[in-house]
Every structure is written in C-alpha cells, then in structure tokens.
Amino acid sequence: MNQDEIVNYPTEFLKSLDLPCISPHVLTLEFGVSIIFLRNINPSRLSNGTRLLVEKLMNNIIEATILNEKFKGEDVLLSCIPIIPAANILFEFKHLQFSV
C-alpha cells in the first residue's frame, strides 16, 4: 500500500463491503466451541481444516486447543492476520481477520 495514497473512508462504509475474499466484519465465538482453521500457517501443525477448541478469547488473540489426532491437546495462540483483498474495487485496503 502506498502511504501517499491513503484516504480515510467512513468505518460504516468499510464494514458494509461484502467481498468474497474477506470474512464478515463481526466474528462471534464462545468458550468451548469447536472451530476450523482456514489457512496453511504451519502445514504440519496448523493447516486448512485443523479442528480447534476455543479456550480463551482476547481482543486480538484466540487461545485454542488442537483436536486433530497428531497434535491433539496442544495449545495454540491464533492472532489476526492482514488480508489485502484482490477484488476489483477502486481502492486497496488491509483487513485484519482471524483465520477461522
């Protein structure tokens, strides 16, 4: 992103964008629910399809326990990752989201 081209868009507008490459703006999770990881961060341990159990929720971090056989019972910390949509829109922006 070119810092010279940064423009301020209203938050309501950015929240209203419905692009296929980004998840909905609001993620609602509860303690003890099962979630599925959607990225290949560490292919041997955290990859697309890894099942996790939510243990603790913080502002920008999810603490979870792996439920898959090989690493079952291991605790992991999931943080938000930046996504820059490649959709055909008139501007470029960075969206932070959890990969679940």
Mean local confidence (pLDDT), 63-78: 92
How many DSSP H helices and E strands does the chain contain? 1, 6
Cα(100)–Cα(98) distance, rounded to whole angstroms? 6
Q: Is 11 exposed, middle or buried (0-12, 13-18, 19+ CB in 10 A)?
A: exposed
Q: Say what the pTM is.
A: 0.69
Contact assessment for residue 36 and residue 50, using Cβ atoms and an 8 Å cutoff: yes
CA distances from 75 to 22, 29, 65, 98 (A): 26, 17, 4, 16
Residue pLDDT, tens place only, 10-62:
777 767 777 666 666 677 888 899 998 887 877 778 888 899 999 999 888 99
The answer, yes or no, to whether residue 82 has pLDDT greater than 70, is yes
